[in-house]
Structure 1
Amino acid sequence: MSSSTSFQPNRYKDRHFDCDAVKILPGEYYATTDDTLIVTVLGSCVSVCLRDPKLNIGGMNHFLLPSDDSTTISSVSESARYGVFAMELLINQMLKLGADKNRLEAKIFGGGNVLRGLTLNSVGQRNAEFVVDYLKAENIPILASDLLDEFPRKVYFFPETGKVLVRKIKSLHNSTIMDRESEYRMRIRQSKPSGEVDLF
């Protein structure tokens, strides 16, 4: 069993799917060579599920562009730089596990306009646009996507097969999703990405 991440993953046994699972939170990512289920819950954040179909190496990230103000050039470039950083962290982990960048395929999710009333320049829409543009620029084909809309999503990624299941959360019983994203947004505003990530 081989996996790679920058944090201590939240592992559990998923009773519904009867398999080992890892839950990732905003700002986290996880890559693996085994059949560990990767799960996350998205509001306005986006997740990219990447996979090398030849070796069945898969990974998922969960990130947000930190800038809410897209009217200034500097905030746009800072924001995009953070998204690039988040993507390169995941790709780099997958390459360490043996994946070939030329074989990577993507499925992308999230970017919901979950904060009612913020339709203009919604952070969810900018996250969605960023991830589509990034993958096109890197020549990574997008096999499936479920972006925008107004509902949070729970995403289940099975790296072994590449299958992704998405459940829309139509009624929130508490504010946990929004609270996590707000706390994450504050955290990344205060700490800019340090250094460059080398791909190899």
Structure 2
Amino acid sequence: MDFDQPDENRSFSPNRYYDRHFGKDAVKIMPGEYYVTTEDTMIVTVLGSCVSVCLRDPVRKIGGMNHFLLPNDGASTISSVSESARYGVFAMELLINQMLKLGADKRCMEAKVFGGGNVLKGFTALNVGERNAEFVLDYLHTEHIPVLASDLLERYPRKVYFFPWTGEVKVKKIKSLHNNTIIDRESEYRMRVRQAPTAGDVDLFL
């Protein structure tokens, strides 16, 4: 499996655990991953400059979350900007496509979006988080998917808990880092996606 590209199979091999605090089965997704479910399962991720879209069809109780980053920072040419946007579109379409496969109706989908903090050391001037946040909002607007809530930008990492059955999202801002795990993980992911081939097209099951 190619870790550097979003992959539909990643939806089926998640990091599962039981969350004692919420009393629920949970799935934790990492940078470059996504997860979609029809069950009452909590989806969790930790975001720095990356963004996550919590997407839901409230009628059918189908929901999912992704975690991704645009590969090019401060792109100065039209081609590099285009390639970066294509990666973001690919990541979003994988999430939407998997929801459609499970029976969701795109016309009913609603979103909540999070992340885009300026936490990557040495890249503050390039507005990494801002570019990711702007892309997500523009994409959802173009696809006519309403954004019901958002918590974007600032300078803190976030831990996001998404409950697909109810649509509830809880966000914990991490204002004191005890180690560099979040930053190191996103920095490594950022380098991988910059070096990976441009993602191809994904056909949606409408």
Task: Classify the TM-score, shorter chain.
Answer: over 0.9
* Structure 2 counterpart SS, 1:40: strand
Number of the residue aligned with 1:76: 81
User: Aligned pair in 2 of structure 1 residues 115, 191: CA closer, same or farther (>3 Å)?
Assistant: closer
After superposition, where does 1:57-68 map in structure 2 within 5 Å? 57-68=62-73
Please state if 1:6 is matched with 2:9. Answer: yes
**Whole-Å separation in 1 of the counterparts to 2:199 and 2:125:** 30
Which structure 2 residue ranges, 5 or more long, are not aligned?
Answer: 1-7
Which structure 1 residue ranges, 5 or more long, are not aligned?
Answer: none
Please report how far the alpha carbon of residue 116 of structure 1 lies from its aligned counterpart in structure 2 after TM superposition.
Answer: 5.5
**Whole-Å separation in 2 of the counterparts to 1:67 and 1:193:** 11
**Whole-Å separation in 2 of the counterparts to 1:131 and 1:23:** 21
Number of the residue aligned with 2:5: none
**Whole-Å separation in 2 of the counterparts to 1:181 and 1:116:** 11
**Whole-Å separation in 2 of the counterparts to 1:146 and 1:174:** 23
Amino acid at match of 1:6: N
Q: Which of residues 29, 36, 41 in structure 2 aligns to 1:31?
A: 36
Q: Which of residues 40, 47, 61 in structure 2 aligns to 1:56?
A: 61
Please state if 1:167 is matched with 2:166. Answer: no
Amino acid at match of 1:61: N
**Whole-Å separation in 2 of the counterparts to 1:19 and 1:174:** 27
8 Å Cα contact 2:90/2:200 also seen in 1: no
* Structure 2 counterpart SS, 1:47: strand
Q: Which of residues 8, 18, 24 in structure 1 aligns to 2:23?
A: 18
Q: Which of residues 172, 197, 202 in structure 2 aligns to 1:197?
A: 202
Q: Cα deviation per residue 1:4-55 (whole Å; 9 max; x = unaligned)?
A: x522100000010011000000000000001110000000000000000101
**Whole-Å separation in 1 of the counterparts to 2:106 and 2:197:** 26
8 Å Cα contact 2:48/2:158 also seen in 1: yes
Number of the residue aligned with 1:112: 117
Please state if 1:184 is matched with 2:177. Answer: no
Number of the residue aligned with 1:149: 154
Q: CA RMSD in A?
A: 1.2
Number of the residue aligned with 1:129: 134
8 Å Cα contact 1:6/1:29 also seen in 2: no
**Whole-Å separation in 2 of the counterparts to 1:135 and 1:17:** 30
Q: Cα deviation per residue 1:119-176 (whole Å; 9 max; x = unaligned)?
A: 4331100000000000000000000000000000000000010000000000001111
| Residues paired across the two proteins, number | 196
**Whole-Å separation in 1 of the counterparts to 2:157 and 2:75:** 23
| 185-194 or 75-84, larger mean C-alpha shift | 185-194
Amino acid at match of 1:105: E
Please report how far the alpha carbon of residue 187 of structure 1 lies from its aligned counterpart in structure 2 after TM superposition.
Answer: 1.3
Please state if 1:138 is matched with 2:153. Answer: no
Number of the residue aligned with 2:46: 41
Please state if 1:85 is matched with 2:90. Answer: yes
